[in-house]
């Protein structure tokens, strides 16, 4: 009886073990193999796409931050793998629905018979400043479907600021673009130096400094100047204006106001303004500017509250540097009145920085440009003064420069914070000069005081 019981127990154990082994085989076949198969299928699709573009002499390069970061972490291993060697799918098999590649536009070839691709085109912004050419369309993005995976090909275009630009991805309403990492807005990147490596047994081009590129991605947003609106203003091509623009360009990029209103440096102001976040301040900044040929004329305030630096360049060009501090719900920069030593704060709504092209250079401007300009020039009001629109001051349309006697008057009111100006007045600011630097010298005289009426506790809103 004891022997029979032992045989039964042995049989049960054997049956149980066999069932467990069968379950493992089933699990591997129907789950793990399916999962790995999807990854391998994705890798084969990417390999097929890159081989096809290579055969067509279209050298695409890897533009995917996640994959580039993985490659960078394992770069010693990657660079020791030879082409054609069998390797596990570690990089392209990352569980995602798309992979981003990029291509420079001059290498683009409009070939038929690739994959099922959706090509997105739009007007070339480089030609917006020229009316007759602004309708030319260029390729911006190409989305290619590969079974359950998609390849997002970003087309880079060269800009005059020696950088690469990609446009916004505009899809039809029924197409979900949230899964794509690039194209929510235009972007600007430095021109990357490329190198060839073997990834998952496939030769691909990647940026030589992969992590520098990855760090560029979240700060790559680009905004265009308003060329259409800027065309309404008359260009000042006098010898003095041309000389100032040239000198100012050699110093810096020009003021945000000039960029927003005229897509150029305001030639009448004779100064250039630069903003720097206070956390980016370095003690050798003064020496760096002096080595560049700029003479330090004034230094006000302290790093912890209201630092200001004023430099003098050639041809009487002034460079003013203001340092911005960030609070929980706003930003501010401090200013010091030269004669009294009084300190003031300029308050701004919080803003982020975008790249833009300005006088053939890439510079940073506030992404929320209009709000920044309004806070700096328009929104400062002191009770007791009535508001007068810019058109009332000049008696002309906003698209033509006002007479010289209006210059100091409007700037005195606006920049000293005595006056509220309508949108019409804001338009005028883009070509009005300052007769003096109001932060360092007394305000300009206003000869035509008859245009406004001083009132107590009464502010006219336009």
SS (H, E, C) 292-319: CCCEEEEEECCCCCCCEEEEECHHHCEE
Alpha-carbon Rg for the chain in angstroms: 31
Higher pLDDT residue, 119 or 441? 119
Give the pLDDT confidence score for residue 96 in this predicted structure: 74
**pLDDT tens digits for 14-33?**
777 766 666 565 544 444 34
Task: Go through 63-75 and write b for each residue having 16 or more CB atoms within 10 A of its CB, e for each that does not.
Answer: bbbebbebbbeee
CB 213 within 8 Å of CB 102: no
Give the pLDDT confidence score for residue 389 in this predicted structure: 33
Any idea which of 205-219, 407-421, 438-452 has the lowest mean pLDDT?
438-452
Q: Per-residue pLDDT for 161 more than 50? A: yes
Short-list 396, 446, 405, CA closest to 454: 446
Most confident of 10-19, 337-346, 421-430: 337-346
Mean pLDDT value of segment 264-290:
80
- Residue 318 — very low, low, confident or very high, per pLDDT cuts 50/70/90? confident
Report how far residue 233's alpha carbon sits from residue 400's, in angstroms, rounded to the nearest whole number.
Answer: 6
Any idea which of 282-291, 358-367, 414-423 has the lowest mean pLDDT?
414-423
Any idea which of 90-94, 217-221, 351-355, 367-371 has the lowest mean pLDDT?
90-94
CA 157 to chain centre: 15
* Average pLDDT in the chain: 68
Strands 149-159, 98-104: pairing is parallel
Mean pLDDT value of segment 78-84:
64
């Amino acid at each position: 009886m004891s022997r029979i019981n032992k045989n039964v127990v042995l049989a049960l154990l054997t049956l149980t073990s066999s069932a467990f082994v069968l379950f493992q085989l089933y699990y591997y076949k129907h789950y793990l193999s399916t999962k790995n198969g999807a990854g391998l299928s994705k890798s084969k699709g990417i390999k097929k796409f890159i081989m096809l573009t290579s055969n067509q002499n279209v050298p695409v390069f890897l533009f995917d931050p996640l994959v580039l970061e993985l490659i960078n972490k394992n770069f010693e291993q990657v660079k020791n793998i030879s082409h054609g060697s069998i390797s596990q799918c570690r990089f392209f098999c990352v569980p995602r629905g798309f992979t981003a590649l990029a291509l420079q536009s001059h290498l683009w070839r409009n070939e038929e018979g690739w994959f099922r691709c959706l090509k997105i085109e739009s007007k070339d912004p480089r030609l917006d400043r020229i009316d007759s050419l602004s309708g030319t369309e260029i390729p911006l993005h190409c989305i290619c479907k590969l079974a359950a995976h998609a390849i997002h090909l970003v087309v880079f275009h060269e800009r005059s600021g020696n950088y690469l630009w990609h446009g916004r991805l505009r899809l039809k309403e029924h197409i979900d673009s949230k899964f794509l990492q690039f194209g929510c807005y235009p972007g600007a990147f430095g021109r990357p130096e490329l190198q060839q490596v073997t990834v998952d047994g496939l030769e691909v081009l990647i940026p030589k400094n992969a992590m520098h590129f990855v760090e560029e991605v979240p700060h790559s947003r680009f905004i265009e100047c308003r060329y259409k609106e800027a065309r309404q203003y008359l260009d000042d091509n006098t010898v003095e204006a041309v000389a100032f623009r040239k000198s100012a360009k050699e110093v810096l990029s020009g003021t945000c106001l000039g960029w927003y209103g005229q897509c150029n440096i305001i030639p009448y102001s004779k100064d250039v303004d630069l903003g720097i976040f206070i956390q980016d301040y370095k003690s050798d900044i003064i020496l760096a500017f002096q080595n560049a040929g700029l003479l330090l004329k004034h230094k006000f305030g302290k790093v912890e509250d209201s630092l200001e630096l004023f430099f003098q360049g050639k041809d009487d060009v002034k460079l003013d540097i203001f340092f911005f501090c960030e609070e929980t719900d706003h930003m501010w920069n401090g200013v010091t009145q030269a004669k009294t030593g009084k300190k003031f704060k300029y308050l701004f709504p919080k803003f982020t920085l975008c790249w833009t092209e300005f006088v053939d250079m890439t510079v940073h401007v506030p992404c929320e440009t209009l709000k920044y300009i309004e806070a700096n020039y328009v929104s400062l009001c002191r009770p007791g003064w009535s508001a007068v629109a810019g058109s009332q001051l000049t008696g002309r349309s906003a698209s033509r420069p006002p007479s010289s006697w209006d210059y100091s008057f409007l700037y005195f009111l606006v920049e000293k914070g005595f006056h509220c100006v309508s949108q019409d007045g804001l338009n005028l600011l883009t070509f009005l000069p300052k007769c003096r630097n109001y932060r360092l010298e007394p305000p300009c005289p206003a000869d035509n005081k008859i245009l406004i009426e001083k009132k107590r506790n009464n502010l006219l809103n336009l």
